[in-house]
Amino acid sequence: MHLRTPAIVLSIRAHGEHGAVVRALTPEHGLQAGYVRGGHGRRLRPVLQPGNRVLGEWRARTEDALPGLTVELLDSRAPLYAEPLAAAALDWTTALTAAVLPEGQSYPRLHAALDAVIDAIEAAPGARGWAVALVRYELLLLAELGFGLDLTTCVATGASDDLAFVSPKSSGAVSRAAATGYEARLMRLPPFLTAGGTGAWDDILAGLAITGHFLERDLLHGRAADALAARERLVDRIKRAVA
């Protein structure tokens, strides 16, 4: 096995005294894990940060063996870790991606979308500049793994107009008329998820509530507690920032 490709660093776990097992997302080969000699040492620590773009080279003698991995830094996101909101967003998006993607399966749309979210965080560390992109990335992740939401038609009537809610059970949109009397059991659907564009803070928080519900139910469901904790920190910081 020999693979040389750009990648986004997702997670780093210490292995042995100085090494580290690194998981990274590649454009064409999906999630790849590898052992980095000295990866837990001072020289490579700034390179192996979640969100960094690297040029990785994986080598293994057999398909079953954990490949050795060497990395070259292409784009550092280290300065973003000085910004609490940006750091929380990087922690969450990378931890989520590492937790739910199977290894070795190609997800080029996810790689491109994650790359775009990280670029948006870098361009505008304040949450208003990237929170909508984050919600859309979470929706794409659900869809790519087989748990997509249908936000195009009402799950009750089949109508495509005046969609205002999402059913937490069916993962489908619900029109305002069909929701009458059941609003308390449904989640509000922010307009930016159907009409595009940006959203006000209450819309962004509504979008995060929708994706958070389905991510926990369908992908994380009781595991990946660290990833869920990272999301709780992110949402809490966004709420404090807009309070």
What pLDDT does residue 224 have?
Answer: 67
Chain segment 130-142, per-residue pLDDT in tens: 999 999 999 999 9
pLDDT attached to residue 45: 86
pTM, two decimals, is 0.93
Name residues whose C-beta falls within 8 Å of residue 100's C-beta, 6 or more positions apart in sequence: 141, 145, 219, 220, 224
Average pLDDT of span 53-79: 92
For residue 181, give both structure tokens. Answer: 């009397």
Answer whether residue 40 shows pLDDT above 70. Answer: yes
Q: Is 134 helix (H, G, I), strand (E, B) or coil?
A: helix
Using one digit for the tens of pLDDT, what is the confidence trace for 113-134? 999 999 999 998 778 889 999 9
> Please, are residues 219 and 145 in contact by the beta-carbon 8 Å criterion?
yes
The confidence score (pLDDT) of residue 222 equals: 66
- φ/ψ region of 66 (left if φ > 0, alpha if ψ in -120 to 50, else beta) reads beta
Rounded to an integer, the average pLDDT of 227-232 is 86
Q: How far is CA 100 from CA 8, 82, 87, 214, in A?
A: 15, 27, 20, 13
Res 192: pLDDT: 94
pLDDT at 208 over 70: yes
241, containing H or E segment: helix 225-242
Output the CA torsion sign for 119, 124, 129, 131. Answer: positive
DSSP-assigned letter for residue 219: I
CA distances for 144 relative to 110, 137, 158, 208, angstroms = 8, 10, 24, 18
pLDDT score at 124: 83
Domains and CATH numbers, the chain: 2-76 (2.40.50.140), 81-242 (1.20.1440)
Q: How confident is the model at residue 102 (pLDDT cuts 50, 70, 90)?
A: very high
Tell me the torsion sign for CA atoms 163, 127, 96, 145: positive
Is residue 211 scored above 70 in pLDDT? yes
Query: Of 42-46, 145-149, 192-196, 224-228, which has the strongest mean pLDDT?
Result: 145-149
> What are the Cα distances from residue 28, in Å, to 1, 53, 133, 243?
15, 15, 22, 41
Per-residue confidence band for 41, with pLDDT thresholds at 50, 70 and 90:
confident
pLDDT of 137 = 97
pLDDT for 223 equals 62
- Residue 210 pLDDT level (bands cut at 50, 70, 90): very high
- Mean confidence (pLDDT) of the chain: 92
